[in-house]
Structure 1
């Protein structure tokens, strides 16, 4: 702070306009976990259908998690395995539009990385069009599930730095 005051003094004594700007470092909201350029929150206190979970995430300015790499899947699985209870968690993947064409709901792009469990997706009883990640299997395997099933879920949002804000306006 003393250094900042010295700079202000130097600039103001030269008759210059000085508006120092402080840029916050990127951070996730309280209760969210950072990995790469995203923030994640694990919603395990309430059960929702896939559509309800998607709406809940949207209310948090987020989306159902879209797992794009093995590294991201491993990160999520690590957190899931550290949780007290084992559950399945909705992810933002669906084949509701065209059977067996698994798309990320926010972009409508086909999943390039997948981590389906053995014999999955299986579309049991022709009713499983939404995907979840299982916390109780190793390696965070995915399963297709009836979209109306009530599960826990994971929301994801982009990591954003806090906007720059002026520390002061000084005119020399």
Structure 2
């Protein structure tokens, strides 16, 4: 007579999912958090400094989807204001770069005829309300709202 040992094998699967977390009042999209600063318009350089004080940078729009997310939010809040982005040709006229990272521009959404350096005084880029928030170059000293961007922090969610 033969005896067989039959046993039950029990196991669990644990899945760790990394979820992006943003500070209160910031919006999450992709791997970034965004703060739309509209309480006190600043010049472009002051806006850069403000963002750095909250461990962020003026937004660097790197893709169509990121651009659409930001423009959609501006349209949803019903603003008629312009918003600085982190793009400038201050260092080399006509050669726009993202100022915090010094990266070249791979994606752009300039309005028709922009950038035009009107009066040889426009070196900083903004989301420009009159043309559905396409990009415009403007004098850096203009007081405008602005968008700060920082990486979202990863917080693991354990499932299982």
Structure 2-normalised TM-score? 0.83
Given candidates 43, 63, 73, the residue that maps to 2:57 is: 63
Aligned 8 A contact 1:81 1:136 in 2: no
Given candidates 33, 37, 41, the residue that maps to 1:39 is: 33
Which one has a larger percent helix, Structure 1 or Structure 2? 1
Structure 2 residue 160 is the aligned partner of structure 1 residue 143: no
Inter-partner Cα distance in structure 2 for 1:57 and 1:155: 5
Name the residue aligned to 1:134. 128
Deviation of residue 25 (structure 1)?
3.8
Which one has a larger percent strand, Structure 1 or Structure 2? 2
Matches within 5 A, 1:54-93: 54-93=48-87
Specify every segment of 5 or more residues in structure 2 that has no aligned partner in the other structure, as ranges: 1-15
Aligned 8 A contact 1:38 1:159 in 2: yes
Q: Secondary structure at the residue paired with 1:86?
A: coil
Aligned 8 A contact 2:19 2:156 in 1: no
* CA deviation string 1:37-76 (max 9, x = no partner): 0000100111100000000000111000000001100000
Name the residue aligned to 1:4. none
Structure 1-normalised TM-score? 0.77
